[in-house]
Structure 1
Amino acid sequence: MIYLLLISLLTSILSAATANSAPLPNLQIRSDEIKTATTSGGNMRGPALAVLANDDLLLGGGKTGGELFLYNLATKQLTKLGAVIAANRRNDDSRFAINDIAVLSETQSSANLLVSYPRLGSQKNCVEIVVENINYDRVNQKIKRVKNWLVTKPCVPISAVQHTSGRFAVIDKKSAYVTIGDLGYPQISNRSKRGDLGSIFKLSSNSITKISQGHRNAQGILLYNGKDLLATEQGPRGGDELNLIKAGADYGWPFVSYGQPYGSGDYVKPTKSGTHIGYEEPLKYWVPSIAITELVQLPKSGWAAWSNQLVSGSLKEQVLVFISLTDNLTITDTQNFDIGERIRDLEVLNSGQLVATTDSGKLLILNLKE
């Protein structure tokens, strides 16, 4: 009798879960070749991505890692605008590349941008992360440096160029949030030495405010419904996370992680694995890791049951992750759509379509099939 009751209960739970699950969207995918905008040196790295009001795209990467391009979706024309990383401030390594681009404001003649990237310190023996304000002259198709908004400290050994993060969520025309990774810094567990690393900041041209800490490699950030700050974070061997970011909170890295150490050669090992006790719990975590990347919110219409919901990219699993979230920030469903490509960056066009860059040098434009 107990056995039959358990079977009945399990069947009810599974039926309820199925009933609450929206079907995976039937996507139509257009693929453009943009290998000129990818960065080589070790592995290939797809370009950073931002969308202008007319749905022209800004791409960041290229042969030298620090080039900015304009891409027209209608003509498929790629135009080089200039470079932001000095040649003598990087190694020939695809990780020395633009991480993200944010459009703070724009007119017909210009756009005010933020660009993040890692570079060598002034002595060329360490790595720092820079957030730079850039003016894009749309008439003459040129870019001009305006001001550095952030240069992270400490400057850490060159071997630690991994986990740079540098993803933006625009707040308004004068400010944005940015994620800063742990840079693979061996002393990240020492709070007095980690400085700016493993944190999320609120930035403007004249102010820097640390919002949260304890982040390993936050590869996506989003103001959900314009008010709740969400971030996706890559963990070690599992432990990828979706977090609700709260001011002053500590998200535990490297003291706790749902992931596991890689091995004896790790730069740092979590003090406790398989737990988040004592620190902010993620809204969701993935074990094994999917190498989660950028996070976006779909438009309020045009995506059937997934309208207004979340989508994230993935490197390792090569999928788009559709995430259903309630108004009280409870996740009710996640489903993976197989892309077969490492998704480096992801945005939403003003037309409502998804657009993604891949490490193989493709630009993907995705929408529901009618």
Structure 2
Amino acid sequence: MITAKARAVDGPNKSFRAAEIKRRELDSHDVLIEIKYAGICHSDIHTAHGEWGPVNYPLVPGHEIAGIVTAVGPSVTKYRAGDRVGVGCMVDSCGECENCQNGEEQYCLKGKVDTYAGVDKYGEPTQGGYSTHIVVPEDFVLRIPDNIDLDVAAPLLCAGITTYSPLNHWGAGPGKKIAVVGMGGLGHMAVKIAHAMGAEVTVLSQSLNKKEDGFRFGADHYYATNDPETFNKLAGYFDLIINTVSAKIDINAYFSLLTLDGTLVNVGAPAEPLPVQVFALSSLRRSFAASMIGGIRETQEMLDFCAKHNIVPEIEVISANQIDEAYERVLASNVKYRFVIDISTM
């Protein structure tokens, strides 16, 4: 077994502590990665706090992982020692069902294996990227383009693909009017990506505090949702709305902003249910959908797209001892725009 240093949490109200975890010996198609950076996602916080259901503690979160290959199994063909790679929100799937065969492993009909808080094919709990090393099957490892630094690459493995996938699926591009609800870790990536796709991009944020940043990231318009006039002015305007907010909002008010056949896609994952008024949808044949990351093929496509268009997240690099503080600041919306852990501080 391979020993890795990590930061683990022992319960929903516990602080992170230094820990050692075991990584399996390399199987024939496995890749050993020395992790250099790990992003902090709001999903990490929901899971660590036990807000999405029972958790098998101790837990090592982290599914925005960037590092260097240090060893490979004897049958690995895609990677070799020294390669710059990433790992996102899943580390395995059945590989056999229709969805897996179509490159949609995130929707595996037998259930994907999450990077942390999951159970792998060996029956062992998975532990994530707040650690120095991880072992992953080669088919779930991504190649990081040379012109993207590893620290900014890490959040692309969740925040990047979580926003790229619905924009890609629902056809964001020239002539499309796209709104992004929220300007946090997910939202600022959605703005950058939608702008690069050629869409007209509007940010809908609680206030105008980040308006200057929004325009710098590529937004064409920026409105405050705490102003009731916003909803009157923009009624029936958007083809696609990407809701990145992980808190409960008045979702029906946002439906009114969609045009005929417009779609609102939730990528934020609030712990509370969102009540939906059917008439708010049926009046203009509007749709309410949700999206979850992307498959491995699409994630690599996203990385290459970001490399081509020089798209990287705005980050604040922290040490391993600052994780608890970072969680508090994320919950207080006090980060611009993604925390990334320097794993060398483990």
| Pairwise same-fold verdict (TM > 0.5) | no
TM-score (norm 2): 0.31
TM-score (norm 1): 0.30
